[in-house]
Amino acid sequence: MPVNPLDNLVRALSRLPGLGRRSAERAALALVRRPETLLDELALALREARQNVRCCNLCGGFTTLDANPCALCTDTLRDDTQLCVVEEPADIVSIERSGGFKGRYHALMGKLSPARQTGPAELRLQALAARVADGRIHEVLLALSTDMEGDATAGFIAEMLRARGVRVTRLAFGLPADSGVGYSDPLTLKRAIGGRMEV
Ligand SMILES: [Zn+2]
């Protein structure tokens, strides 16, 4: 039986975070109702994002094809001695918005999680060790979530970097439990960065 394209669209939209089945249906119906404006515009934006948005080879944050390493990695005014480790590229956006950090970034692309079968090899930990190995970084600030998996990831990294003589700190509490950096408001994040503690 041929797949109904409208059902297909609803199914694809409902996989997006924050969009349940009902909202996906509403969005899909609005799109096909105005194909020349909404649908074409979205299709073009999706294609452009697919072609041009990349993760930075150095920090893992979002950038474009023609700017890799990204602007945050190449900005000469930022502090090379401080490295902020986050779980997801989106966390970099949140920390930048808080204005509380002026060093470099490193996104792990997840956290250690036995439940999701994410082990050290699935994260960008080797790349982190390599960045710290060149000796320029004095402090690694772990901006990880405050759940068991975030704790385990922080412990693993602290252990990994201890021998390298680098200071490892973690965001002060104040961040909501079981939430990632991405869910914290800018002011809370800025305070958490200011009050960071030795791991
Ligand atoms: Zn970068």
State the residue for tokens 């694809």.
Answer: 12
Distance of CA 186 to the CA centre of its chain: 15
Give kind and range of the element (H or E) at residue 50.
helix 40-52
What sign does the CA torsion over 67, 68, 70, 76 have?
negative
- Residues 113 and 166: their CA atoms lie apart, in Å, by 25
Question: CA-based angle 144:54:72, to the nearest 5?
Answer: 60
State mean pLDDT over 125-134. Answer: 95
Predicted model pTM: 0.86
Q: What is the pLDDT of residues 14-31, one digit of tens each?
A: 999 889 999 999 999 999
Q: Please list all protein residues whose beta carbon sits less than 5 angstroms from ligand 1, which is an ion.
A: 56, 58-59, 61, 69-70, 73
Question: CA-based angle 7:13:16, to the nearest 5?
Answer: 150
Whether the Cβ atoms of residue 28 and residue 12 lie closer than 8 Å to each other: no
CA of 74 to the centre of ligand 1 (A): 7
User: How crowded is the C-beta side of 137, counted as CA atoms within 13 Å?
Assistant: 25
- Residues 47 and 51: their CA atoms lie apart, in Å, by 6
Q: How confident is the model at residue 179 (pLDDT cuts 50, 70, 90)?
A: low
Please write down the HEC assignment for all residues of 143-185. ECCCCHHHHHHHHHHHHHHHCCCCEEEECCCCCCCCCCHHHCC
Q: Indicate the range of 34-38, 127-131, 173-177 predicted with least confidence.
A: 173-177
What letter represents residue 175's amino acid?
Answer: L
Share of the chain above pLDDT 90, in %: 78
CA of 25 to the centre of ligand 1 (A): 36
- Residues 94 and 99: their CA atoms lie apart, in Å, by 9
CA of 87 to the centre of ligand 1 (A): 14
- Cα Dmax for the chain: 63
CA of 88 to the centre of ligand 1 (A): 13
Whether the Cβ atoms of residue 141 and residue 189 lie closer than 8 Å to each other: no
Give the pLDDT confidence score for residue 130 in this predicted structure.
95
Q: What is the pLDDT of residues 45-76, one digit of tens each?
A: 999 999 999 999 999 999 999 999 999 999 99
CA of 90 to the centre of ligand 1 (A): 12
